[in-house]
Amino acid sequence: MNRAFVSFSLLGLLAACGDEATVIGSESGNLEAAGNATQPLYVIQSLIFGDEGSFSYVVLRDQLVPEPTISLAEGREFPGYSPADPVNGMLAVGNGNAPSVEFYSITDDRVWTSQATVSFSGFTSESVAGNVPVSANKAYVPVERTNHTKYDPTTFELGGEVGAPPDIPLERDGGLIANRGFGQELRGTTLFQPYYFADAGFQSYSPESQIAIIDTETDTIAPSTSAPCPHLHITTSDENGNLYFSNGQGSIAAAVLTPGNAPNCFARINAGETSVDPRSITRFRDLTEGREGSNLFYIGNGKALFNVYHAERDKLTPESEFVEVDMSSSYHLWTLDLATGAAAMLDGIDFAGGQFTALRVDNRTIVTIPEADYSSTAFYEIDANLVISKLFDVDGWAFKTFRLR
């Protein structure tokens, strides 16, 4: 899904911590007050699209329980796609229009205090697309497609570039561009970050994706591993340490409408290993009577969820546009027994939009399912026995939920 970004101007620079790390408006004296917060706090992040551009909203909750529809009017607004992440008890929010991350402490009575805004303009001119804590005093921020820079969230000081994997090109297969996958997995001190290759319009994908492997203790990049699957974008892991990588919803339209695009699939890196197991490659269409799928997520007891596009519900023709698939209401959750390969439609949740997300919060599996037009998102809890509990609806496309403290 393409995202529009609105203009946003930063305040003047007030202090610097090194040649490349700029701290804007640091108020670190309030950090002790943030540490005194004792009540649980959860973050729900949603994105809306409109004539004036895109905006991200952060809504706070003391608990995730059934309640009426959550309005974004009670949330805090940020420009464009501004991803939020928990970092050492603080809320780190990337700026949707600038290469910076702002860190907030939030008290029990929900008073926000900006601790610092750290600029990464020495590394990139693009907005920050993610924040990956790898230890108590180190986090990675992706820059320039396949590179990362690192910083210390306890001091807000940058530590320089981690470096781009030398065996993952910026372009391949006739001009397809490297893109960082949304998910990543940290197993011990080893980070696994998928990359896929697509054209500028995300209508054609390379049949192969690559996974970067980084030792976060030494910031050393190992040889990458690859999988014969397009658009590896979503990650998940099981209790044994097996890692799973699958495509997101964006490549379903390409597989359905563009001749020659490879079918979507998922791959596994076995526990204790760093290479994709070639026996694990599983095409979604082989599980679903020929339908394309995406977004594999492990929920426990050897079971996983994934989303399936039921093209038979739509009146597609050779002239159909990608938007007809991207914005379709013909997606449905399926379950997969990873041991037997048995897959089936999940009862209890109706057809809806395609860009569903699944998240693990307090050992609970929280699933968010959008309307086809992404005007609202339904939240469910699904346990390992496939018992479904509806929680609430949220305005917009809710794409992140986590416990801040």
Domain boundary among the residues 110, 141, 161 is at: 161
Is residue 313 in some structural domain?
yes
Range of the domain at 92: 1-161
Q: Are residues 203 and 321 in the same domain?
A: yes
Rg (alpha carbons) of the chain, rounded to whole number? 21
Q: Are residues 54 and 193 in the same domain?
A: no
Q: Are residues 250 and 278 in the same domain?
A: yes
Residue numbers of the chain with a pLDDT score lower than 70: 1-35
Q: Are residues 148 and 236 in the same domain?
A: no
pLDDT in tens, 26-79: 444 344 445 578 899 999 999 998 888 899 999 999 999 999 999 999 999 999
Q: Are residues 77 and 203 in the same domain?
A: no
pLDDT of residue 36: 73
Is residue 400 in some structural domain?
no
Is residue 345 in some structural domain?
yes
pLDDT of residue 17: 31
pLDDT of residue 58: 98
The Cα–Cα gap between 345 and 307 comes to: 9
Q: Are residues 193 and 246 in the same domain?
A: yes
Q: What are phi and psi of 298, to 5 degrees?
A: -80, 130
Is residue 329 in some structural domain?
yes
Classify residue 302 as exposed, middle or buried by CB count within 10 Å of its CB (0-12, 13-18, 19+). Answer: middle
Cβ-based neighbours of 393, under 8 Å, separated by 6 or more: 69, 70, 376, 377, 378, 379
